[in-house]
Structure 1
Amino acid sequence: MAKELTWDGTLSPNEFQKAAKAFVQKWKGCISMPAWAWKPFTRLPYTLTHDEGGYLSLEIVYKHVAEERSCDCIVQEGYPLESSALAEEVADAATLVNLFALLSLLMALKCKVLDCDTETHLYDFHIIYSASYRVPILYFRGYNIGGQPLDWSTIKEDLPLSSVKMLDESRWTFITKEEHPYLKRPWFTLHPCGTGDWMKLLFLDKVASVGRAACIPNYVLSWLSMVGQAVGLKVPLDLLTEDEHLPVNS
């Protein structure tokens, strides 16, 4: 137990996979929320040394943004298409494109009734293990209905004011743009500096009482409940209340 008390708050690759898969199982009970999925990947980035890997994925999350700030439908958060029964029947890329077009049309018609000009922004979020920092890192990208990537200034406008304030004021929380280690394309990422330190503090009492191994299943959930707030991602309240160590979303 004395050795566990020196835990620095980081994870081994195997511990990350266990934590990630436990996170997916916990999230399955949240029928009101978009679903995270584990994406296995056998061809790993050169920075990873274990034989098998993967990452957590939440994709095609849409935000409907009104250009008229006085309009009542300024921001509407939606579910990813892949979580709907319709999307489960998608057979090819062409069908998916048609679904995107249909979604855009429906949302435009809805807001036209409310007399406001709108556009649809879509977001993908990935949680990837960093071999360098030994902690999860949140990668994300935004794009419009035509697939054109959003720049940071546009993405920032989509965030809640509390998230923008956090990004502006915190010396630990900042966004960079890096190559996605699996997809080899530029994505935005929340820099992981200090992650191990505050995860260590978060689990300090629990590690002392029940041991490190018992904390691993809640690691990603705890981490996302803090990190996700910076980009407007929230953990469902019912999951937060299952463990007293998880901070409630503000």
Structure 2
Amino acid sequence: MAKELTWDGTLSPNEFQKAAKAFVQKWKGCISMPAWAWKPFTRLPYTLTHDEGGYLSLEIVYKHVAEEEGYPLESSALAEEVADAATLVLDCDTETHLYDFHIIYSASYRVPILYFRGYNIGGQPLDWSTIKEDLPLSSVKMLDESRWTFITKEEHPYLKRPWFTLHPCGTGDWMKLLFLDKVASVGRAACIPNYVLSWLSMVGQAVGLKVPLDLLTEDEHLPVNS
């Protein structure tokens, strides 16, 4: 147990896969929310990429943006039906923005990283200034004030295209603090199934992506969305 008490809050590649798949199973119970899915990825034998078996994906999350006033990308927006863009009927007074979110394991930081992109109904990517306008004011304030939470643009490790990403600095430290008591009482292995869920409940708030309250209340160690 002494060794477990020194846990730094990071995950091995295998632990990330276990945590990710447990997250997918938990999320399946949320019928009001679009489903996250595990996307397996097979590394080609001649590549040197840090493939860890796949990533989590939530795609085609859409929101309508009024011409005069935007609506935040919060849980209410995510609870809308995931629509086929080909059949989506647009109101003349609104513009539709769509978002894709991926959770990818970082071999360097040994923690999950949230990647995301926004685009319009025609498939044209949104720049950061437009995406920022879609976010709740609380999220914008968090991004402006927190030295641990900032957005960068990087190449998607699997798709090899530029995506926005929430920088993972400090992730291991606050995940260690979050699970400190539980690790001490029941061990590190018991924390793995809830790792991604608890992580997303915190980092997702920076981009207006929230976890359903009923999932958070299933475990007293998971932080409730503010």
Structure 2 CA distance for partners of 1:89 and 1:41, relative to 1, 3 Å: farther
Structure 2 CA distance for partners of 1:84 and 1:94, relative to 1, 3 Å: farther
Any gaps of 5 or more consecutive residues in structure 1?
69-76, 98-113
Structure 2 CA distance for partners of 1:232 and 1:80, relative to 1, 3 Å: closer
Preserved CA contact (<8 Å) 1:81 1:87: no
Structure 1: 4+ residue segments shifted above 6 A: 44-51, 77-97
Preserved CA contact (<8 Å) 2:61 2:100: yes
Structure 2 CA distance for partners of 1:26 and 1:155, relative to 1, 3 Å: same
Structure 2 CA distance for partners of 1:180 and 1:195, relative to 1, 3 Å: same
Preserved CA contact (<8 Å) 2:43 2:49: no
Structure 2 CA distance for partners of 1:52 and 1:202, relative to 1, 3 Å: closer
Percent identity, aligned pairs only?
Answer: 100
CA–CA distance in 1 between the matches of 2:104 and 2:8? 19
- Determine which structure has the larger helix proportion and give its number: 1
Structure 1 or 2, whichever has the larger Rg, is 1
TM-score, scaled to structure 2: 0.88
> Which deviations, in whole Å up to 9, do the C-alpha atoms of 1:8-52 show, x marking residues without a partner?
000000000000000000000000111000000012799978775
Structure 2 CA distance for partners of 1:227 and 1:192, relative to 1, 3 Å: same
Preserved CA contact (<8 Å) 1:44 1:53: no
Structure 2 CA distance for partners of 1:199 and 1:230, relative to 1, 3 Å: same
Shift in Å at residue 118 of structure 1? Answer: 1.3
> Which deviations, in whole Å up to 9, do the C-alpha atoms of 1:103-132 show, x marking residues without a partner?
xxxxxxxxxxx9972100000000000000
Aligned length: 226
Structure 2 CA distance for partners of 1:178 and 1:85, relative to 1, 3 Å: closer
Any gaps of 5 or more consecutive residues in structure 2?
none
| Range 51-60 or range 148-157, more displaced | 51-60
Structure 2 CA distance for partners of 1:194 and 1:45, relative to 1, 3 Å: farther
